[in-house]
Amino acid sequence: MTAVAASIGDGGSGGCRHLAIIMDGNGRWAQGRRLPRIAGHREGVEAVRRVVEAAPGLGLDVLTLYAFSSENWKRPADEVSDLMGLLRHYVKSEIDTLHRNGVCLNFIGDWRALKPDLVSLLEAAREKTRANSGLKLVMALNYGGQGEIVRAAQALAAEAAAGTLDPAAITAELLESRLDTAGLPPPDAVLRTSGELRLSNFLLWQTAYAEYLVTDTLWPDFDGAALAAALDEFARRERRFGGR
Ligand code: FPP
């Protein structure tokens, strides 16, 4: 089958079921317009809305978005507070639409360490959409790939110390089952906007065989057409998973 035929047959995703996105370039988008950085983040939320709406029609089953990294705390306090405010606003204002559209919303990272009111809001959103069978929307919040692997290793070490786990029985699958992403398929592709070529501590374990896609488009300018173009690029890749 040609890549084009394949992408028609699978709703346009070219076989990409799980796409993970590093949403980058909000600051530069704002800077280019002599606006404060918050304006770029606000437009970034609009891009999130557009992409979440377009994703199911393009054949995606899982969309993971890197919304706040464990390293983003290093930003000035007012920017951190703006980002938390936008997250709060997004979940409050979108949850009914997401639910109506069958989206199942979940979170990865140490999100339970966020402010208690935000944690309650996220818990409620998760609970409301838990049984939905449409797009799985996964937001990485206070997320870092190294920290996630450390937490999984600690969980296994605790079991070994308690005598309920033989260290020799630790396999890749067992470690995977203790990651925040347990139960999700690994991403087929990681897309980063704004032309940067870095993984930035995102899904380090899960992206072992993911295709890396990069676009110069700044995140606030990203939309369904840009998503379709990225998935076209994915469809042209030949994946071998270490084989021939
Ligand atoms: C990177 O742009 C983006 C972030 C650090 C956060 C991503 C957040 C959003 C898209 C908005 C919040 C999303 C939700 C769902 C509430 P940058 O600031 O690093 O851009 P720059 O590299 O151009 O400075």
This prediction has a pTM of 0.95
Name the 3-class secondary structure at 64.
strand
Integer Cα distance of 133 and 74 in angstroms: 37
For residue 90, give the ligand 1 atom closest to its CA: 16
Closest CA to 86 of 181, 197, 219: 219
Closest CA to 41 of 31, 53, 51: 31
Closest CA to 90 of 131, 39, 127, 125: 125
Name the 3-class secondary structure at 136.
strand
- Strand 62-69's sheet: what is its strand order? 104-108, 136-143, 62-69, 18-22, 189-192, 211-214
The pLDDT confidence band at residue 238, using thresholds 50, 70 and 90, is confident
Give nearest CA residue, ligand 1 atom 16. Answer: 87
pLDDT reported for residue 13: 80
Q: Which pLDDT tens digit goes with each residue over 55-75? A: 999 999 999 999 999 999 999
pLDDT reported for residue 98: 98
CA of 23 to the centre of ligand 1 (A): 6
Structure tokens at 88: 């709060």
Is 20 in contact with 66 (CB distance < 8 Å)? yes
Give the residue-averaged pLDDT of 188-208. Answer: 97
Structure tokens at 224: 């369904």
SS3 sequence, 191-232? EECCCCCCCCCCCCCCCCCCEEEECCCCHHHCCHHHHHHHHH
Residue partners of 136: CB distance under 8 A and separation at least 6: 61, 62, 63, 103, 104, 106, 184
CA of 26 to the centre of ligand 1 (A): 5
CA of 24 to the centre of ligand 1 (A): 6
What residue ranges define each of the domains in the chain, with the CATH number in brackets?
Answer: 3-235 (3.40.1180.10)
Q: What is the CB-side half-sphere exposure of residue 7 using CA atoms within 13 A?
A: 17
For residue 48, give the ligand 1 atom closest to its CA: 15
Residue 5 has pLDDT above 80, yes or no: no
